[in-house]
Every structure is written in C-alpha cells, then in structure tokens.
Amino acid sequence: MTKLAVLVSGRGSNLQAIIDSIENGYLKAEISVVISDIAGAYALERAKKHGLNAVHIDSKRFETKESYEEEVLGVLRNNKVELVLLAGYMKIIGKTLLSSYKNRILNIHPALLPAFPGLHAQQQAFEYGVKVAGCTVHFVDEELDGGAIILQKCVEVKECDTAETLAGRILEQEHKIYPEAVKLFVENKLHLEGRKVIIG
C-alpha cells in the first residue's frame, strides 16, 4: 500500500476526505504521517481522532527554508513516505522537498487553474465575476499553483451566491476530486507527458 504524508496548516477538511476514502475502502493507501506547520491546526486533531501519526514542525525554529524542509524530509523518510499531499498547507514548497519528491507531491487548489492562483482563490473568482468556478488537483512544481493538472471540477456560480456560499460548493467538489486523483496516482494511472497528465 502506498504510504502517504498529508501536509496541513488549518481545518483539514481535505485531510478528512482522504481519511474517509481510505477507511471506506475507496482508496488503497495508508497515511503514514500528518505534518502541520501550525501547532493548533484542527487538522492535527482530526488525524489524532483517527489514530494517525500527527506531527507539528514549527518552521519558526529554523533559520532557513532549507533547514526547515530538511526536518520535514527527515520525518517523511522515517515514515517511508512515497507520496506527499498538500491539503491546505500554507507554505510554498522549496527545492529541498521538490527535488526529493519530484512528481510525488500533489496539491488541491480551489480554482480552475491557471486562473486565480494564490490565496483566496474563490473570492478572487467571485469578485472577477466568473460564471463557472471550480477546483484543481495538480502536481507541485517550482511555480506557485503551476504544476501539471490532474483533475478539475467545475462549479457554476449562481446569482444568489456570495464568495462564502461559492467556496462551500467548491469545497464539496474538492473532497471528491482529491481522493479520486490520489487513487489514480496510487494505481499508477497518471502519466506525465510534458505538462500534460495522461490518465489511463
């Protein structure tokens, strides 16, 4: 079974979706470790509730991004992690992690990339006035929210929406496509051709 690490910073609803998919048998993988850079992240509570190995690594203890990521890398290696999932992890991945886990780090983003990368993507899309919003699971590379796209799901924007109601409907779709993308990865069905991901 593929060993996963989930990197988090906050409430952890996407972590929960991955946990649920494993527990209900949809996803044949195991979470070896959950790592948070934030001590009080609710995601850590969720992990503990499910008996998972949950670790807080305080980036402020480290002088450089490299030394922080070396520490994270050590935890990943100790837990024999094969695939890293970013799930609301608020740090940009640096070259230390990228080079050790090349094409083995995935992220979920609450917009239809390449539109609206970065923070508050749902609000950006709402304020721009798009009629269709959505979410994206992608490989992580050097560029912020810029790696090859694995899966996307559209969410229609309604006249009565606020940024919050729209974000809520996008989140429901995130919880579906993230486990789906991880399943494709662990079943070896994702093939990178340049920046295209061929599924099958």
Tell me which of 50, 109, 120, 175 is the catalytic residue: 109
Residue nearest to ligand GRF (CB): 88
Q: Kindly state whether residue 169 participates in binding ligand GRF, applying the rule CB under 6 A.
A: no
Nearer Cβ to ligand GRF (164/191): 164
For every residue of the chain, DSSP letters joined together read: -EEEEEEESS--HHHHHHHHHHHTTSS-EEEEEEEESSTT-HHHHHHHHTT--EEE--GGG-SSHHHHHHHHHHHHHHTT--EEEESS--S---HHHHHHTTT-EEEEESS-TTSS-SSSHHHHHHHHT-SEEEEEEEE--SSTT-SPEEEEEEEEPPTT--HHHHHHHHHHHHHHHHHHHHHHHHTT-EEEETTEEEE-
Please say if 191 is a catalytic residue: no
Residue 10 Cβ vs ligand GRF, minimum distance, rounded to whole Å: 4
Contact with ligand GRF (CB under 6 A): which of 2, 7, 12, 125?
12
Contact with ligand GRF (CB under 6 A): which of 38, 72, 87, 150?
87
Contact with ligand GRF (CB under 6 A): which of 38, 96, 105, 109?
109
Which residues are catalytically annotated?
Answer: 109
> Could you list the residues that contact ligand GRF (CB under 6 A)?
10-14, 87-88, 108-110, 171, 174
